[in-house]
Amino acid sequence: MPFVTVGAENGTDIDIYYEDHGSGPAVVLIHGYPLNGDSWERQERELLASGHRVIRYDRRGFGRSSKPTTGYDYDTFTADLATLLDHVGVDDVALVGFSMGTGEVTRYVARHAGGRVRCAVLIGAIPPFLLKTDDNPDGVDGQVFDGIKAAILEDRYAYFKAFLDDFYNVDELAPERIGEQAWQASFQVASGASPHATYACVDTWLTDFRDDVAKLDVPTLAIHGTADRILPFEATAQRLPALVDGLELVSVEGGPHNVGWTHPEVVNPALLSFLAAHAAVPAGRAG
């Protein structure tokens, strides 16, 4: 299996698992919490069929990647991404993030891109700044996140049950848009994540991306469910058009957090159309 080493903890390598398929303009898919790169299956199939090279990976602490107890912050996550891009040798890439993955996309473009990124897609966006503060009154109260961490410590499996129910708006969308087996598959992936990462990542959700958002200088698309219970539309994506010049916003009416699974008939055409409008000359594989 393909891995790239991004660091070490107590003499043991920290390895990131990735997959690299197809040929053509490169698209990098960055997954959300608490899933892994496999969660992109409904998008990867369409991207490959439309002639893209698709690279996806598991964030540290999740999936088949190493599960260290260090590096759970967006500077490190973005450094991991930069190491992967160097390793696979892609330039002129489209970065597509979901949920937590939108943080890597935003920070990478703002601080690391150096002309390497041709466009960015934020699905279920976490920027610009989720935490409610005096200068961010539209954010979410900090006690909500304290409660999440307490729930994880008490029983992370019970927490995942509640989280995934809201991740898919099961009470409204099951079984038509989220079947029991698909929900169970997500639960199994979440259960296999590092307990440390499960807890530590909650603090990363409070990262202030406002300075990063101001530096998004590539074509950017945001896709977000209007009924998102994890990252409320009004506190996140709805604010982005006023902060990013030319940003395109696709609102998925009644969509939950993981609209990529529940509403592919909206997400995939919007994604493919945007990528086609910002296409790149196909690059060969490195090595």
Q: For 40-91, how does the pLDDT look when each residue is reduced to its tens digit (9 = 90+)? A: 999 999 999 999 999 999 999 999 999 999 999 999 999 999 999 999 999 8
* CA within 13 Å, CB half, 63: 24
CATH of domain 3-277: 3.40.50.1820
Kindly report, residue by residue over 143-176, the tens digit of the pLDDT: 999 999 999 999 999 999 999 999 999 999 999 9
pTM given for the model:
0.95
User: To the nearest 5 percent, what fractions of the chain are helix, strand and coil?
Assistant: 45, 20, 40
What is the per-residue pLDDT for 280? Answer: 64
Kind of pairing between the strands at 3-9 and 12-21: antiparallel
What is the per-residue pLDDT for 176? Answer: 97
Active-site residue, selected from the candidate residues 65, 228, 263, 278: 228
Q: Is residue 186 annotated as part of the catalytic site, yes or no? A: no
Active-site residue, selected from the candidate residues 99, 186, 194, 263: 99
What is the per-residue pLDDT for 156? Answer: 97
Mean pLDDT, residues 277-284 taken together: 65
Mean pLDDT, residues 23-32 taken together: 97
Residue ranges per domain, the chain? Answer: 3-277
Q: CA separation (Å) from 287 to 27, 88, 284? A: 18, 8, 9
Reported as type and span, the H/E element at residue 122 is strand 117-123
Q: Is residue 196 annotated as part of the catalytic site, yes or no? A: no
Is 114's pLDDT higher than 90? no
Residues forming a β-bridge with 225: 252
Active-site residue, selected from the candidate residues 52, 87, 224, 257: 257
Kindly report, residue by residue over 180-205, the tens digit of the pLDDT: 999 999 999 999 999 999 999 999 99
Q: Is residue 257 annotated as part of the catalytic site, yes or no? A: yes
Q: What is the mean pLDDT of the chain?
A: 95
* Distance (Å, whole) CA 77 – CA 60: 8
What is the per-residue pLDDT for 284? Answer: 42
CA angle 175, 177, 182 (to 5 degrees): 75
Q: CA separation (Å) from 250 to 59, 153, 242, 270, 272? A: 26, 36, 14, 8, 13
Mean pLDDT, residues 252-263 taken together: 98
Helix segments in 168-226, DSSP class H: 170-173, 180-191, 195-204, 210-213
Mean pLDDT, residues 131-152 taken together: 94
- Calculate the CA dihedral of residues 197, 200, 201, 206 and round it to 10 degrees: 180
Q: What percent of the chain has pLDDT over 70?
A: 97
CB-based contact 223:270 (threshold 8 Å): yes
Residue with tokens 């909650």: 202
Q: Give the pLDDT band (50/70/90) at residue 286.
A: very low
What is the per-residue pLDDT for 285? Answer: 39
